[in-house]
């Protein structure tokens, strides 16, 4: 989970820098390689491992499925999966030099994984409902 989140925090930061680079430039081509490797070698495998370990945890502790805070956590984790998919799609756009988003957009969306993670952790620790 730590590796997945680290990648989810770093990838949009790369997109900020990539959005500032001139398409076709040496910097742009370097970012393409970095983004692809990060996604394929770290983020995707870490996400799959996180999913498998989460399912294993539920199999060992099925009573967690009846906890209301876990339902909220599941919803936020689904949002992380959706964000992961969005980042993967954005990588393909950058690869084709077809990014349509601004630097400001990437700086803003860069904060979303941290926010989701913070709320997920707080839900698990505090168990507010």
pLDDT in tens, 47-87: 999 999 999 999 999 999 999 999 999 999 999 999 999 99
Where b means 16+ CB within 10 Å and e means fewer, 53-72 reads eeeeeeeeeeeeeeeebbee
The number of folded domains in the chain is: 1
What is residue 33's three-state secondary structure? helix
Where b means 16+ CB within 10 Å and e means fewer, 5-25 reads bebbebbbebbbebbebeeee
Arithmetic mean of pLDDT, 10-30: 98
Q: What is the pLDDT of residue 114?
A: 97
Range of the domain at 14: 2-126
Q: What is the pLDDT of residue 89?
A: 98
Q: What is the pLDDT of residue 91?
A: 98
Q: What is the pLDDT of residue 100?
A: 96
Count CB-CB contacts under 10 A for residue 102. Answer: 11
Q: What is the pLDDT of residue 116?
A: 98
Among the listed residues 52, 57, 43, 62, the one whose alpha carbon sits nearest the alpha carbon of residue 2: 43
Distance CA 103, CA 118 (A): 24
Arithmetic mean of pLDDT, 26-37: 98
Q: What is the pLDDT of residue 85?
A: 98
Contact between 67 and 122 under an 8 Å Cβ cutoff? The reply is no
| Proportion of the chain above pLDDT 90, given as a percent | 99
């Amino acid at each position: 989970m730590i590796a997945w989140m680290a990648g989810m925090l770093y990838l949009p930061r790369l997109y900020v820098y990539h959005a500032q680079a001139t398409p076709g430039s040496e910097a742009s081509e370097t970012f393409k390689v970095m983004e692809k490797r990060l996604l394929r070698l770290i983020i995707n495998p870490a996400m799959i491992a996180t999913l498998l370990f989460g399912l294993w945890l539920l199999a060992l502790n099925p009573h967690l499925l009846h906890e209301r805070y876990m339902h909220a956590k599941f919803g936020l984790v689904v949002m992380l999966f959706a964000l992961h998919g969005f980042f993967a799609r954005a990588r393909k756009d950058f690869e084709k030099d077809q990014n349509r988003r601004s630097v400001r957009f990437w700086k803003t969306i860069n904060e979303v994984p941290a926010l989701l993670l913070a709320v997920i952790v707080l839900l698990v620790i505090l168990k507010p409902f």
